[in-house]
């Protein structure tokens, strides 16, 4: 077995034991026939399915016991080796390996492993099957098992510490050009509910937007698209009490008048059947029609257990909605005013994570004034915030930053800001911005600044007021262009206020993403001149302040470099790593998007709001 773990010498993707790469998986013939032919469970097949369930349950229970034993053993080893610096690396590998050993996949038979990986890792996807040369096919839909690489799934489960074992996930894609019968879909749902043995269930239903772009809502809306399956699922499905997450994706035209009508009918008929629903995603449902907003509000009112909401607009949340339920919120559209921004946090006092965009169209200079302390809202639960600043005409970033003014987040740990192209710089002085932002995020630890290279005029300098107001940062990720790197170095390495201390005394980890396009015809070596000394200066200076400070740099060589530069760029980074090694310092270099993504995983700081499901 090759050595593996986060501290692997080459600082790249964690290698995996070779024997796991060669595993072959066989699914029992009976299970294949049952799933692909869409037949009900009966007779001998029912007995085999029950036996299959018993084997899965027993295997998971056995592995849970082993997992507990291994963790206790690791705790004992850590207590014995805590003071032995020479054994630190070996201990780290031992701890990482224990996650692999204690994985529920460890000793399961191959056929059960395949079934579990297929269902839980990738979900089940029902896709339309129709012949373009025939108007209608008697069996237009089939069950498609998405084949998942077992080792890839095992890596994912190991890294996420087995969280995928908390629910089963099923996905449907619909082509709405056909008038559907839902008996096949209900049969599949029933079979999969039997196989999951009491696990909470997440369901995703998607309409093909190409098939509905020219179709407006009609009186027979309940007979088309995903509506009939939703209605039957809620009213007839025995496992509806286990439905914990529902993700609905529809085209704009259908959703304006059809989907929420159905929701109202469901809410009126079955208030209790959806009590288990914890996560709801309606982020692609886009309409500002008053009746639709009211219908959405009525539906949300009926969901007594809802904790995670992904929705198109903040206006869809009704005024009488009990906001203390929600833990996470994602808004697809942009927030247009500071009042709307503040209103979200006023109405949702227990929100722990939020993601949305901000857009401001201004034709005048903002009036800047410090907020009255008595008017500041203290939101004491929010821990993760992801904000995207949308580009628009006459955008003034200082006014956008003023959206934060008036709300203080004492518990916020992670902040992610991203910027669209063609954004303007500040219209007020950095000192004024600093005084306005100071104290808004007193406990911040992780900051991601994405698309800084898109900010025109002042670039990274535009963000200095924000950064200076965050002295508690421990991890920082910045994507910027090469010309802005010296400016960032000045912020990180210059003494604070002419004294003998550096800013950000707690900063331990930093990843810089270089977003330039290097081209030999423009003078490649001139463009990166000084980059090596700049990075060296950051590492050397920060290490004197914080022992163990780790600097990483990444750029996608394949897409950012042209005309013979990739090979030269590769040689440049190799030389950069060697220079750091000679000086006794470590520098991690990530050369493509996949490696950079893995680096962010190791940061443990990416904000998990891409898809709000349990």
At 423-464, the pLDDT tens digits run 455 444 555 565 566 678 888 898 888 888 777 667 777 777
* Global confidence as pTM: 0.64
At 237-296, the pLDDT tens digits run 888 888 888 877 654 444 444 555 666 666 565 555 677 788 888 765 555 556 666 666
By percentage, how much of the chain surpasses pLDDT 90? 0
At 85-121, the pLDDT tens digits run 555 555 444 443 444 444 444 555 545 544 554 454 3
Torsion of CA 236, 239, 242, 245, to 10 degrees: -60
Other Cβ atoms less than 10 A from the Cβ of 394: the count is: 11
For position 12, what pLDDT does the model report?
A: 47
For position 171, what pLDDT does the model report?
A: 64
Q: At CB < 8 A and 24+ separation, what contacts does 340-347 make?
A: 340/314, 341/403, 341/404, 341/407, 342/377, 342/406, 342/407, 343/314, 344/314, 345/377, 345/379, 345/382, 345/407, 346/377, 347/317, 347/321, 347/323
Quote the tokens at residue 290.
């008053």
For position 453, what pLDDT does the model report?
A: 75
Cβ–Cβ < 8 Å for 249, 176:
no
Q: What value does the mean pLDDT of the chain take?
A: 63
For position 377, what pLDDT does the model report?
A: 80
For position 143, what pLDDT does the model report?
A: 29
Q: What's the rounded Cα separation, in Å, for the pair 236 and 49?
A: 22
3-state DSSP call for residue 25? coil
* 40 vs 582, higher pLDDT: 582
Quote the tokens at residue 425.
């710089």
| Domain assignments of the chain as residue spans, ordered by start | 18-153, 474-614
Our measurement of the distance from residue 432's CA atom to the centroid of its chain's CA atoms, rounded to an integer in Å, reads 34
Q: What's the rounded Cα separation, in Å, for the pair 433 and 425?
A: 12
419 membership: H or E segment, kind and range: strand 414-419
DSSP states along 158-185: HHTTTGGGG-EEEEEEE-TTS----HHH
Cβ–Cβ < 8 Å for 211, 192:
no
Q: What's the rounded Cα separation, in Å, for the pair 600 and 596?
A: 6
For position 13, what pLDDT does the model report?
A: 46
Per residue, the 3-state secondary structure of 69-124, as one string, reads HHHHHHHHHHHHHCCCHHHHHHHHHHHHHHHHHCCCCCCCCHHHHHHHHHHHHCCE
For position 214, what pLDDT does the model report?
A: 36
* 75 vs 254, higher pLDDT: 75
Looking at the predicted structure, is the pLDDT value of residue 393 above 60? no
Torsion of CA 302, 304, 306, 307, to 10 degrees: 150
At 316-345, the pLDDT tens digits run 776 767 778 888 888 877 776 777 778 888
Looking at the predicted structure, is the pLDDT value of residue 78 above 80? no
CATH number of 474-614: 3.40.50
Work out the pLDDT band at 564, boundaries 50, 70, 90: low
Work out the pLDDT band at 513, boundaries 50, 70, 90: confident
Phi-psi category of residue 407: left, alpha or beta, with phi > 0 → left and psi -120 to 50 → alpha: beta
Segment 125-147 shows an average pLDDT of: 28
3-state DSSP call for residue 309? strand
Other Cβ atoms less than 10 A from the Cβ of 57: the count is: 12
Q: What's the rounded Cα separation, in Å, for the pair 307 and 328?
A: 7
* 37 vs 544, higher pLDDT: 544
* 472 vs 35, higher pLDDT: 472
For position 593, what pLDDT does the model report?
A: 58
Our measurement of the distance from residue 281's CA atom to the centroid of its chain's CA atoms, rounded to an integer in Å, reads 14
Q: Which of 559, 557, 586, 554 has its CA nearest to residue 569?
A: 557
For CA atoms 368, 371, 375, 378, the dihedral sign is positive
Looking at the predicted structure, is the pLDDT value of residue 189 above 80? no
For position 305, what pLDDT does the model report?
A: 82
For position 37, what pLDDT does the model report?
A: 54
Cβ–Cβ < 8 Å for 191, 31:
no
Q: What's the rounded Cα separation, in Å, for the pair 280 and 307?
A: 8
Work out the pLDDT band at 186, boundaries 50, 70, 90: confident
Looking at the predicted structure, is the pLDDT value of residue 569 above 60? yes
């Amino acid at each position: 077995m090759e050595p593996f773990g986060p501290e692997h010498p080459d600082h790249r993707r964690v290698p995996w034991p070779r024997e796991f790469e060669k595993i072959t998986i066989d699914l029992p013939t009976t299970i294949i026939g049952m799933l692909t032919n869409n037949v009900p469970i009966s007779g001998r097949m029912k007995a085999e399915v029950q036996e299959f369930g018993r084997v899965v349950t027993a295997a998971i229970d056995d592995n849970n016991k082993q997992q507990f034993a291994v963790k206790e053993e690791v705790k004992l080893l850590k207590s014995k080796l805590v003071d032995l610096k020479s054994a630190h690396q070996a201990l780290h590998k031992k701890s990482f390996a224990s996650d692999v050993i204690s994985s529920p996949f460890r000793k399961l038979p191959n056929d059960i492993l395949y079934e579990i990986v297929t269902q839980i890792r990738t979900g089940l996807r029902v896709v339309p099957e129709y012949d373009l040369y025939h108007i209608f096919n008697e069996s237009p839909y089939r069950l498609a098992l998405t084949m998942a690489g077992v080792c890839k799934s095992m890596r994912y489960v190991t890294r996420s510490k087995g969280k995928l074992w908390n629910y089963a996930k099923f996905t449907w894609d619909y082509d709405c050009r056909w008038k559907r019968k839902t008996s096949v879909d209900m049969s599949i749902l029933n079979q999969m509910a039997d196989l999951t043995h009491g696990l909470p269930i997440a369901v995703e239903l998607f309409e093909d937007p190409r098939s509905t772009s020219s179709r407006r809502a009609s009186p027979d809306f309940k007979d088309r698209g995903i509506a009939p399956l939703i209605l039957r699922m809620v009213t007839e499905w025995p496992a509806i009490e286990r439905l914990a997450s529902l993700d609905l994706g529809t085209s704009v035209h259908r959703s304006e008048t059809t989907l929420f009508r159905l929701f109202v009918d469901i809410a009126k008929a079955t208030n209790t059947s959806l009590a288990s629903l914890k996560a709801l995603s309606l982020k692609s449902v886009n309409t500002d029609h008053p009746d639709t907003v009211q219908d959405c509000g009525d539906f949300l009112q009926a969901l007594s257990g809802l904790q995670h909401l992904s929705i198109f607009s903040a206006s869809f949340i009704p005024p009488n909605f009990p906001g203390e339920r929600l833990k996470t919120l994602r808004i697809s559209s942009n927030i247009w005013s500071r009042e709307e921004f503040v209103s979200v946090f006023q109405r949702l006092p227990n929100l722990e994570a939020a993601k949305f965009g901000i857009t401001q169209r201004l034709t005048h200079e903002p009036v800047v004034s410090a907020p009255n302390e008595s008017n500041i809202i203290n939101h004491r639960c929010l821990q993760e915030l992801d904000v995207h600043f949308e580009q628009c005409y006459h955008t003034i970033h200082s006014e956008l930053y003023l959206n934060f003014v008036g709300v203080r987040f004492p518990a916020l740990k992670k902040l992610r800001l991203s910027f669209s192209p063609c954004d303007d710089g500040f219209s007020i002085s950095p000192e004024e911005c600093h005084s306005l932002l100071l104290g808004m995020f007193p406990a911040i630890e992780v900051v991601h600044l994405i698309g800084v290279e898109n900010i025109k005029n002042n670039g990274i300098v535009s963000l200095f007021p924000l950064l200076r107001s965050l002295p508690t940062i421990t991890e920082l990720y910045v994507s910027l262009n090469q010309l802005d790197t010296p400016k960032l170095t000045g912020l990180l390495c210059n003494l604070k206020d002419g004294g003998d201390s550096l800013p950000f005394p707690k900063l331990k980890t930093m990843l810089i993403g270089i977003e330039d396009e290097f081209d030999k015809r423009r003078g490649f070596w001139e463009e990166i001149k000084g980059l090596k000394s700049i990075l060296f200066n950051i590492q050397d200076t920060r290490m004197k302040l914080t022992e163990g400070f780790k600097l990483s740099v990444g750029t996608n060589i394949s897409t950012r470099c042209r005309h013979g530069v990739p090979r030269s760029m590769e040689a440049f980074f190799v030389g950069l790593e060697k220079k750091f090694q000679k000086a006794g310092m470590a520098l991690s270099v990530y050369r493509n998007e996949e490696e950079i993504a893995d680096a962010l995983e190791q940061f443990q700081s990416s904000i998990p709001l891409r898809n709000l499901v349990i």
